[in-house]
Structure 1
Amino acid sequence: MQVYKVYFKAIYKNMTQIAIYFIVFLVLVVVLANTYTSPTDTNYTETKVNIVFINYDKDSKIVEGLKNYLSQKANIVNIEDNTQKLQDALFFREVEYIVKVPDGFTKGLLNGGSIRLDKTSLPSSTSSVYMDSIINKYLNTVKMYDSNIGNLPEEELIRSINKDLDQKTDVKLNSYANEASESEKCSYYFNYLAYSMLSILILGICAVMIVFNNTDLKKRNLCSPIKLRTMYFQLILGNLSFAIITWFLLIIASFIMYGSYMFTAKGMLFLLNSLIFTIAALSIAYLTGNVVKSKKVMSAVANVVVLGTCFISGVFVPQALLGKTVITIASFTPNYWYVKSNNTIASMVNVNMENLTPVFINMLIMIGFALAVLAITLLVIKQKRVSDS
């Protein structure tokens, strides 16, 4: 395994330049972890609205029952029936809803009359709709009892209504806020991983291929007892080993930062997606290594390829903020499909086949990129071999 050993000696000589990208990546993810703010919990909570209740239908137990029911759902503020004061209270948001019960309302309600409640509220406000629904719920219950059970005493009517309206159903809301926060942070982590992964592989493999593609060294290798097929096999094995080691080192921090989350289904999907991207990045690095001829050009090409593809594919700028033209161009790079998969994984609530299908399709596209670039690389190698002979 002489060639395999030489491969890693060449990597070791360029370790300083490669280590820079490890450090950049670690700084990025640590800063991200310290500056990320989790999304606020948007679960529903019942709030009490400030209302004014003015009653002119005296001695009505139904209206009194309505007032008691409203006091459980809202804060009743005592303001006299003065137009100026009521308008000021609405304007300064001291109250959001004013309801007046006219004289004879109960009699009209029970006899099918047309007497209505007089209400004033903030225009187009949710509190108005909320209070309307509460009042309608109470009055509809009154009418239902009156139409089905006639001549029922008001005390018994109010007792039955309160019993019905007191019925509650326990609702359990599952909050995914913490999981969503971890998923989003993890997606940023693995998105930035694309930058370091591609940079490290291009620099490392280019450095090795420049050495092995040196004309004098290549002629000496051809005279060596090692078969050409064996030599290429060891080079390929070296490339794969270097890529896997790089992937392993880059994901170690994720286990430290996110702990048990990385052992969940979504954490494993992030890891699988990054591993497949590593294969695609390896094919790009191998092609670049067979095209670049000097170390001076190597850094320039690495920066152009890596930064260019990362900026247009959503690694640094979210894909949602990129224009259609940029997205169309980015779709011809594996980075785009890698980031798209990360975003899809992060937004999943349930890990099922329906949600996983687009992720697996993106992974297959990345594998297709890897095979296509590898085919181009083999064509380039063959063309160079013919031109050198």
Structure 2
Amino acid sequence: MQVYKAFFKVIKKNRGLLLIYLVVFMVLALLLTNTYNPPQDTDFSKVKVNIAFINDDNDSLLVAGLKIYLSENANLVDLPDEPQKLQDALFFRQVEYILRVPDGFTEAMLSGREVQLEKTIVPDSTSNVYMDLLINKYLNTAQTYTTYMPGLSQAELTQYLDKDLAEQSQVTMISNGSHSANDEKSGYYFNYLSYSMFAILILGVCSVMLVFNNTDLKRRNLCSPIRSANMNFQMILGNLSFAILTWLVLISASFVMYGSFMFTANGLLLLLNSFVFTLAALSISYLIANLVKSRGAMSAVSNVFALGTSFISGVFVPQELLGANVLTIASFTPTYWYVKANNEIAAAVSFNANNLQSIFTSMVLVLAFGVAMLGVTLVLIKQRRVEG
């Protein structure tokens, strides 16, 4: 196993360069663990909007009913009916919605005519939509009664409105489970792992191949008693051993930080996904190693490829924050599909056929990248051998 031993002698000689990326990854992982804040409770809670209610109509029972209904669902702020003060209140967010009831509102409602209320709002605010829904609900209910029960008095109409609008639907939230803090943390941890994995494998494999592809050394090896097939087998075994050893070192910290979580379905799927990515990264690293000609080029390619794919694929910036064009470009890299699978695994409360299919599809695509790159590398090696 002379070639196999020589492989790791070269790796050992370059261990300082490789340790840099290992330390960077461990520091990122520890910082993530210490600074992570679990998400706040996302259960629905009703929030009342600050609004101003201005009545230009007479003080009718219908207007009073609308005001009472809105006061139950919003905070009524008393403001003088002066344009400058109303504009200032909106600007400083004392109120987010100003409703003005026009003159003739009550008469128009009782006669079944269409009514237009005036509003002044904060542009593009969610409170605008919420208040519109409340007001429309009141007006539409009132219009239904005046249309199908003409002749109703204000007292009767407001009584019907109070009864109908008081009805509430009970909503029950059903969940199959809940997330723990380790779900989010481990997802980030394994996303960052892809950066260090790519950098370490590219540097390690390139360091070895630069030595073995040296013209003088290659000629000496061809004269040695070791058969070419045996030499290639040992080289493949060395690459696989180096990749698996790197993977084991990078995932080891996850067992320390997340403990028993790594033996759950989510944890095991994250481990499987990272192992598949390791094989793809090794294949790409082997291709790069057969293209670079110097140590300077090796370091440059490692930084550009590892950092570049990480930035556009969602390692450092979440995929949901990246633009569609960036994600389209990123989809041509295995890192994108690796991160996509990690995010789906971390977000899953339980697993079923649908989400497992999506996760395993991403893994297969990552593996397909590795197989494709390996095929290109073998063709390249064969072509060089023929030309040589």
Deviation of the 1:367 alpha carbon: 1.4
Partners of 2:84 and 2:25 in 1: how far apart?
A: 64
Tell me the distance in 2 between the aligned counterparts of 1:252 and 1:318: 24
Identity of aligned residues (%): 33
C-alpha contact 2:52 2:77 (8 A) present in aligned 1: yes
Which aligned pairs between 1:350-361 and structure 2 lie closer than 5 A? 351-353=355-357, 357=361, 360-361=364-365
Q: 1:193, 1:357 → 2: CA distance? A: 21
**Which of 296, 301, 305 lines up with 1:309 in the alignment?**
305
Q: Is contact 2:193-2:250 (8 Å) kept?
A: no
The unaligned stretches of length 5 or more in structure 2 are 349-354
What pairs with 1:31-50 in structure 2 (closer than 5 Å)? 31=31, 46-50=46-50
Query: Partner letter of residue 169 of structure 2?
Result: K
**Corresponding residue for 2:118?**
119
Counterpart Cα distance in 1 of 2:282 and 2:188: 24
The question of 1:73 aligning with 2:77 is answered no
Say whether the 8 Å CA contact 2:51–2:98 is kept in structure 1: yes
Structure 1's 234 and 102: CA in aligned 2 closer, same or farther, altered over 3 A? closer
Q: Give, in angstroms, the shift of residue 36 of structure 1.
A: 7.1
2:4·2:237 contact (CA, 8 Å) conserved in 1?
A: yes
In 2, Cα distance between equivalents of 1:35 and 1:274: 27
Is 1:339–2:343 an aligned residue pair?
no
Do the aligned residues in 2 keep the contact of 1:22 with 1:250 (CA within 8 Å)?
A: yes
Determine the C-alpha separation between the residues in 1 that align with 2:66 and 2:240.
Answer: 76
Residue 75 of structure 1, CA deviation: 0.9
Instruction: Name the larger-Rg structure.
Output: 1
Over 3 Å counting, the alpha-carbon distance change for 1:341 and 1:256 in structure 2 is farther
Q: Per-residue displacement from partner, 1:352-376 (whole Å, max 9, x unpaired)? A: 5357546533431331111210232
1:367 maps to amino acid: V
Summarize deviations over 1:333-359 as a string: whole Å, max 9, x none: xxx612222343355467353575465
Q: Distance in 1 between matches of 2:76 and 2:222?
A: 91
Paired position in structure 1 for 2:198: 194
Instruction: Decide whether aligned partners of structure 1 residues 376 and 233 sit closer, same or farther in structure 2, where only a CA change above 3 A counts.
Output: same
Q: Which one of 362, 367, 381 corresponds to residue 363 of structure 1? A: 367
Question: For the residues of structure 1 that align with 2:15 and 2:98, how far apart are their CA atoms?
Answer: 75
Matches within 5 A, 1:130-141: 130-141=130-141
**Farther-moved stretch of structure 1 (86-95 vs 34-43):** 34-43
C-alpha distance 32-95 of structure 1, shift in aligned 2 (>3 A)? closer
Which shows bigger deviation, 354-363 or 128-137? 354-363
For 1:152-231, list aligned pairs within 5 A: 157-165=157-165, 166-170=167-171, 172=173, 183-184=187-188, 186-204=190-208, 206-207=210-211, 213=217, 215-216=219-220, 219=223, 221-222=224-225, 227-231=227-231
Alpha-carbon distance between aligned partners in 2 of 1:5 and 1:227, rounded to the nearest angstrom: 16
Equivalent residue runs for 1:279-294 within 5 Å: 279-281=282-284, 283-284=286-287, 287=290
Partners of 2:215 and 2:269 in 1: how far apart?
41
Kept in 1: contact 2:110–2:146 (CA 8 A): yes
The letter for the 2-side match of 1:279 is L
Q: Does residue 1:300 correspond to 2:291, yes or no?
A: no
SS in 1 for 2:66: helix
Letter in 2 for 1:360: V
Q: 1:383 to 1:100 in 2, by over 3 A?
A: closer
Q: Secondary structure at the match of 1:141?
A: helix
SS in 2 for 1:236: helix
Q: Which runs of 5+ in 1 are unaligned?
A: 385-389
Contact 1:191 / 1:342 at 8 angstroms: preserved in 2? no
What residue in structure 1 maps to residue 351 of structure 2? none
Aligned 8 A contact 2:243 2:278 in 1: no
Q: CA deviation at 1:71?
A: 0.4
Q: Is the 8 Å Cα contact of residues 284 and 370 (structure 2) preserved in structure 1?
A: no
Task: Please give the alpha-carbon distance, in whole angstroms, between the structure 2 residues aligned to 1:80 and 1:373.
Answer: 78
Larger mean CA deviation between 235-244 and 164-173 belongs to 164-173
Query: What is the CA-CA distance between 1:22 and the residue it aligns to?
Result: 3.0
Give the counterpart of 1:277 among 277, 280, 293. 280
1:253 paired with 2:253, answer yes
Contact 1:56-1:100 at 8 Å conserved across structures: yes
Count of aligned residue pairs for this structure pair: 365
Counterparts of 2:372 and 2:124, CA distance in 1 = 54
Inter-partner Cα distance in structure 2 for 1:278 and 1:83: 65
CA shift, 1:199, in A, is 1.2
Query: Is the CA contact 1:269–1:345 (under 8 Å) kept in the aligned structure 2?
Result: no
